[in-house]
Amino acid sequence: MTERMPDFTMPSDEDLAAERRAEAISRARAADPTSGLRDALGLEQEPLDEAVLADAAGADEADDASGEQGAAALPPPDPSTRIHSRRADRPVRVPSAVRRRVLTIVRNPIVAFATGASVVAAGFLAAPAITAWTERGTMAELERVVDDYVAALNQGDAEAAVAAFRPDEGMGSLALIEAGVAPTSPPTVACGAPTLDRAGDVATARCSLEVMGYGSGGMVTPLRIERVDGSWRLGSSLLQRSYVAPALFELVSVSGVPMAGLLDPDEEAYWLLPGGYDTETRTSDLIDLTDYGGLVVADGGGYLNVMPQVSEAVMDDVEAAALAFAEGCVVDEDAATRCGIVPPPEGRGLSASFSQPGYPHDALTFGIPVRIAGSGEAAAPNVEVLVHFDETWTSYELEVTGVTEMYG
């Protein structure tokens, strides 16, 4: 029994030409470095030069003709190079605007480099946010919150300090901080490691404040930190209530910030960062000012270290008024009883001298105790004289209030 030989059909010239064209296209695509990227993105390939394809196909045909005698048969076509009108596995078509943008990047190496650099930079910029998210509620975040706050205080960064915790405005005004008043001599703030309560949702750090030239009051100020919505936040502040009430002088500026319109006479205190603040003051010739360091804000609060005293001309008038009052009191026993001054022994007279510095009663009034010597008392009494200035401190009136409980 004879077996039938299989039928072989020789490819036609058209089929051979199509195969040669497919091979030429495949080599051209392989030589194009952007072809693979376009294919991966589902982008249409760039059109090929038909003249180049024709030359490549002709070269293949010549090679086939020269090797026709030694070749038993043409190799089967490579399926991967066959051209199909539609590819079943082609991705969804990318919008034309996106395709043009991608092709621009592919064709321009400088643009491609810049795009890559921007991606890397975006990663670096996102790193802090990622870190903050991953450390939420941890001891690392707790310590970072305290460290950042201490750093803001030591750098005199009022904006960052208030952003971390805004103090109670019912206890003091933020007007000076909001106007940009910050220490000209920042403090030295140090806080110990925060300790947790039993529940683990509240921590406390023990802190100390020191101002250059004034040291520390030795007080330990607790800083409270609370866990809120899974993250640590400050629950208290190291800002200090400061009493900024100039008396017998005008406070022109603090740390270079003009005070005109900022100070409220009805405001008791202002919140300020710890530290030293330079001040500029102005008054009249009737008042002498001694500046002991401007405005100092330490662990006991903040105070103006500018001390007023009346001039020597005013002191002479005060002394004379006090002596005249005392002499009028000892003209007889009844007057002396009413005044509270024992008459001097016969042959002795009274004299007046200043036993201690005076002090401001308010923005326009200065009180001075005058020691009256020569009376019949064991301890010389003091007569208080109030100096009432006008609003410009250029004129005044004297008021003798009488004998005080202060003795010289």
**SS (HEC) of 133-164:** HHCCCCHHHHHHHHHHHHHHHHCCCHHHHHHH
Output the pLDDT for position 36.
65
Average pLDDT over residues 374-400: 90
Asked if residue 111 belongs to a domain, the reply is no
The residue among 207, 238, 269 that closes a domain is 238
Output the pLDDT for position 239.
96
Asked if residue 393 belongs to a domain, the reply is yes
| Greatest mean pLDDT range, 213-222, 288-297, 336-345 | 288-297
- DSSP, res 388: E
Asked if residue 105 belongs to a domain, the reply is no
Percent of the chain residues topping a pLDDT of 70: 70
pLDDT grade, residue 66 (50/70/90)? low
pLDDT exceeds 50 at position 72:
no
pLDDT exceeds 50 at position 27:
yes
pLDDT exceeds 90 at position 226:
yes
Tokens coding 368: 């001075």
For residue 371, list its beta bridge partners: 353, 382
pLDDT grade, residue 268 (50/70/90)? confident
For the chain, the 3-state helix, strand and coil shares in percent, each to the nearest 5, are 35, 25, 40
pLDDT exceeds 80 at position 59:
no
The residue among 238, 269, 293 that closes a domain is 238
pLDDT exceeds 50 at position 41:
yes
Average pLDDT over residues 196-221: 85
CA–CA gap between residue 340 and residue 330 (Å, rounded)? 9
For residue 308, list its beta bridge partners: 289
Output the pLDDT for position 76.
59
Closest C-alpha among 254, 252, 248 to residue 286 = 248
Phi, psi at 228, each rounded to 5°:
-125, 120
Asked if residue 100 belongs to a domain, the reply is no
Asked if residue 389 belongs to a domain, the reply is yes
Output the pLDDT for position 120.
45
Asked if residue 377 belongs to a domain, the reply is yes
Do residues 305 and 295 make contact, with C-beta atoms less than 8 angstroms apart?
A: yes
pLDDT exceeds 80 at position 187:
yes
pLDDT grade, residue 126 (50/70/90)? very low
* Average pLDDT along the chain: 80
pTM of the model: 0.61
Same domain for 254 and 210, yes or no, is: no
Average pLDDT over residues 12-34: 75
pLDDT exceeds 90 at position 272:
yes
SS3 label, residue 124? helix
Same domain for 318 and 280, yes or no, is: no
pLDDT exceeds 90 at position 26:
no
Asked if residue 323 belongs to a domain, the reply is yes
> The domain that contains 153 carries what CATH number?
3.10.450.50
Same domain for 306 and 316, yes or no, is: no
pLDDT exceeds 90 at position 180:
yes
Same domain for 265 and 234, yes or no, is: no
Asked if residue 146 belongs to a domain, the reply is yes
Q: Which residue has the higher pLDDT, 188 or 378?
A: 188
Q: Which residue has the higher pLDDT, 70 or 208?
A: 208
Closest C-alpha among 78, 33, 75, 29 to residue 53 = 29
Query: What confidence tens digit (pLDDT) does each residue in 289-341 have?
Result: 999 989 999 988 999 999 999 999 999 999 999 999 999 888 888 888 888 88
Provide the number of structural domains found in the chain: 3
Tokens coding 210: 């020191």
Same domain for 335 and 290, yes or no, is: no
Same domain for 144 and 226, yes or no, is: yes
Same domain for 233 and 144, yes or no, is: yes
CA–CA gap between residue 43 and residue 29 (Å, rounded)? 14
Same domain for 255 and 234, yes or no, is: no
pLDDT exceeds 60 at position 123:
no
Same domain for 278 and 204, yes or no, is: no
Percent of the chain residues topping a pLDDT of 90: 47
Quote the domain boundaries for residue 205.
Answer: 139-238
Same domain for 205 and 221, yes or no, is: yes
Same domain for 326 and 395, yes or no, is: yes
Output the pLDDT for position 29.
73
Which range is least confidently modeled, 59-63, 100-104, 284-288? 100-104
The residue among 193, 214, 238 that closes a domain is 238
- Residue listed under structure tokens 């760039």: 46
Which range is least confidently modeled, 108-112, 173-177, 290-294? 108-112
Question: Strand 240-243 relative to strand 231-234: parallel, antiparallel, unpaired?
Answer: unpaired
Output the pLDDT for position 407.
46
Output the pLDDT for position 340.
81
One-letter identity of residue 99:
R
Same domain for 155 and 218, yes or no, is: yes
